[in-house]
Chain A
Amino acid sequence: MIKKIFVLLSCVLLLAIPDSALAAKKGKKKGPKKPKKELDLSKVVKVQVQVTQGKVTKSYDVTCYGNEPGQMKGKNFTPMSKVVSQYKGRARFDKKAKKKYALYRAIQKAGKEECNQPGHLSLAPYNGAFGEAEARILYDRFSFGASPELIAHSARIGLEATVNEIMAYKSEPQFDADEIELRCDGYLADDSRNESFMFDECPPGNRNAVRDTGVRFDIYNRMWRSNNGYYHKLAHFLHDERMAAGSNVLNSTDRYALVDHVAMLRRAAASGDYIQFMREWNDDYLGHLVWLDGRSNSGDSPNENYAREFWELGTVGPTGLDGLPVYSDLDIAQSALAFSGWIRECADFLDSLGNEYEACFGAKAPLRHAPGAKTIFIGTPWQATVDTDADVLNATFNHPRTAEHLAEDIWKEFINPYAREKEIRQLAQLIRDSNYKLHPVFRKIMMSRAMFDQKSRKTLIKSPIEMAIGFLRHTGIPVIDSIYFDEDDGVYRTSSNRFENLEWNVIDELGEIPTLPPTVFGWNERRLAGEQWVLPWRNAVVWILNQDSDDLEERGGFSYRTRFFSGLPAAGTAAPVLVDNIAAMLNVPLTDAQKAHLVQFLDYDYVQCSNSEKQDPTKGCDADGNRLKYRVFDPHPESDDVNVTDLRGVIAAIAMQTAYRLK
Chain B
Amino acid sequence: MKGRVSRRDFLRAVSAGTCGAAIHTLTSPYENMVALAQGAGNGRVFVLVNLAGGCSHNIVPIYHGAYRDENPTISYSEADSLPLNAEQGLHPSLTALKACWDTGRLAVCNLVGYPNPNRSHDESTDIWHRGTRLMGASNGGWGARLTCQMNSIFGGVSLGGSNVLITGDCNPPRAFASLDQNAFGERGISGASSRDQAFLRITRDQMNIDSAPPPAADNYWYVRTQADNLAASLTTIKNATNQPLPDISPITFPNTGFGRACQNAARLLQATAIGTQFIYLQDGGYDTHAGERTALANNLTRVNGGLNALIATAFALGRWQDLVIVTMTEFCRTFENGSQGTDHGHAGPVLIAGGAVNGGIYAPAPTPAETTSQGYYHNYHIDFRGIFHEVIQFLGYDPGPVFPEAFSYTRLGILG
List, in ascending order, chain A residues with CB within 8 A of B212's CB: 589, 591
Is the CB–CB distance between A599 and B1 below 8 Å?
yes
Closest B residue to A458 using CB positions: B220
Is the CB–CB distance between A620 and B8 below 8 Å?
yes
Least Cβ–Cβ distance between A487 and chain B, in angstroms: 26
Is the CB–CB distance between B189 and A546 below 8 Å?
yes
List, in ascending order, chain A residues with CB within 8 A of B204's CB: 653, 656
Stretch at the interface among B89-97, B190-198, B361-369, B407-415: B190-198
B99 located at the interface, meaning its Cβ lies under 8 Å from any Cβ of chain A in the complex: no
Least Cβ–Cβ distance between B315 and chain A, in angstroms: 29
A432 located at the interface, meaning its Cβ lies under 8 Å from any Cβ of chain B in the complex: no
Interface string of A535-567 (1 = CB under 8 A from B): 110110011011000000000000000000000
A622 located at the interface, meaning its Cβ lies under 8 Å from any Cβ of chain B in the complex: yes
A381 located at the interface, meaning its Cβ lies under 8 Å from any Cβ of chain B in the complex: no
Is the CB–CB distance between B198 and A539 below 8 Å?
no
Is the CB–CB distance between A545 and B119 below 8 Å?
no
Is the CB–CB distance between A600 and B4 below 8 Å?
yes
List, in ascending order, chain A residues with CB within 8 A of B196's CB: 606, 645-646, 649
Most buried by B among A295, A530, A533, A652: A530
Interface string of B8-46 (1 = CB under 8 A from A): 100110011000000000000000000000000000000
Closest B residue to A625 using CB positions: B15
Is the CB–CB distance between A658 and B220 below 8 Å?
yes
B184 located at the interface, meaning its Cβ lies under 8 Å from any Cβ of chain A in the complex: yes
Stretch at the interface among B106-114, B226-234, B244-252: B226-234
B380 located at the interface, meaning its Cβ lies under 8 Å from any Cβ of chain A in the complex: no
B341 located at the interface, meaning its Cβ lies under 8 Å from any Cβ of chain A in the complex: yes
Give Cα A657–Cα B339 distance, bound, in whole angstroms.
48
List, in ascending order, chain A residues with CB within 8 A of B224's CB: 658
Known: A308-B344, A458-B220. A645 touches B191 (CB 8 A): yes
Interface string of A633-663 (1 = CB under 8 A from B): 0000000010001101100110011110110
Is the CB–CB distance between B186 and A298 below 8 Å?
no
Is the CB–CB distance between A293 and B339 below 8 Å?
yes
A419 located at the interface, meaning its Cβ lies under 8 Å from any Cβ of chain B in the complex: no
* Pick from A521, A600, A607, A630: contact of B122, CB under 8 Å: A521
Please provide the chain A residues from 334 to 386 with a CB less than 8 Å away from any CB of chain B in the complex.
Answer: none
Please provide the chain A residues from 296 to 353 with a CB less than 8 Å away from any CB of chain B in the complex.
Answer: 296-298, 300-305, 308, 312, 318-319, 329, 332-333
Known: A459-B220, A649-B192. A601 touches B203 (CB 8 A): yes
Is the CB–CB distance between B15 and A622 below 8 Å?
yes
Please provide the chain A residues from 586 to 601 with a CB less than 8 Å away from any CB of chain B in the complex.
Answer: 589-591, 593-594, 596-601
Give Cα A300–Cα B338 distance, bound, in whole angstroms.
8
Please provide the chain B residues from 118 to 136 with a CB less than 8 Å away from any CB of chain A in the complex.
Answer: 118-123
List, in ascending order, chain B residues with CB within 8 A of A630's CB: 2
Is the CB–CB distance between B222 and A305 below 8 Å?
no
List, in ascending order, chain B residues with CB within 8 A of A628's CB: 2, 7
Please provide the chain A residues from 366 to 411 with a CB less than 8 Å away from any CB of chain B in the complex.
Answer: none
Closest A residue to B16 using CB positions: A623
List, in ascending order, chain A residues with CB within 8 A of B53's CB: 519
List, in ascending order, chain A residues with CB within 8 A of B243's CB: none
A275 located at the interface, meaning its Cβ lies under 8 Å from any Cβ of chain B in the complex: no
Number of interface residues of A (CB under 8 A): 80
Is the CB–CB distance between B175 and A641 below 8 Å?
no
B214 located at the interface, meaning its Cβ lies under 8 Å from any Cβ of chain A in the complex: yes
* Pick from B189, B219, B339: contact of A526, CB under 8 Å: B219
List, in ascending order, chain B residues with CB within 8 A of A620's CB: 8
Is the CB–CB distance between A527 and B161 below 8 Å?
yes
Least Cβ–Cβ distance between B117 and chain A, in angstroms: 10
B327 located at the interface, meaning its Cβ lies under 8 Å from any Cβ of chain A in the complex: no
Is the CB–CB distance between A594 and B8 below 8 Å?
no
Closest A residue to B19 using CB positions: A623
B151 located at the interface, meaning its Cβ lies under 8 Å from any Cβ of chain A in the complex: no
List, in ascending order, chain A residues with CB within 8 A of B122's CB: 312, 318, 521
Known: A532-B162, A532-B175, A658-B227. A597 touches B203 (CB 8 A): yes
B78 located at the interface, meaning its Cβ lies under 8 Å from any Cβ of chain A in the complex: no
Give Cα A459–Cα B216 distance, bound, in whole angstroms.
11
Give Cα A601–Cα B7 distance, bound, in whole angstroms.
11
B343 located at the interface, meaning its Cβ lies under 8 Å from any Cβ of chain A in the complex: yes
A603 located at the interface, meaning its Cβ lies under 8 Å from any Cβ of chain B in the complex: yes
A238 located at the interface, meaning its Cβ lies under 8 Å from any Cβ of chain B in the complex: no
List, in ascending order, chain A residues with CB within 8 A of B384's CB: none
Is the CB–CB distance between B8 and A622 below 8 Å?
yes
Give Cα A545–Cα B332 distance, bound, in whole angstroms.
48
Give Cα A657–Cα B226 distance, bound, in whole angstroms.
12
Least Cβ–Cβ distance between B223 and chain A, in angstroms: 5
Given A459-B220, A526-B222, A649-B192, 8 other A-B residues pairs in contact with their CB atoms under 8 A: A293-B341, A318-B122, A527-B161, A597-B7, A606-B195, A622-B11, A624-B198, A662-B219
The 4 closest A-B pairs by CB, nearest first: A296-B339, A301-B338, A530-B162, A623-B15
A residues neighboring B (CB under 8 Å):
292-293, 295-298, 300-305, 308, 312, 318-319, 329, 332-333, 417, 458-461, 518-519, 521, 526-527, 529-536, 538-539, 542-543, 545-546, 589-591, 593-594, 596-601, 603-608, 620, 622-624, 626, 628, 630, 641, 645-646, 648-649, 652-653, 656-659, 661-662
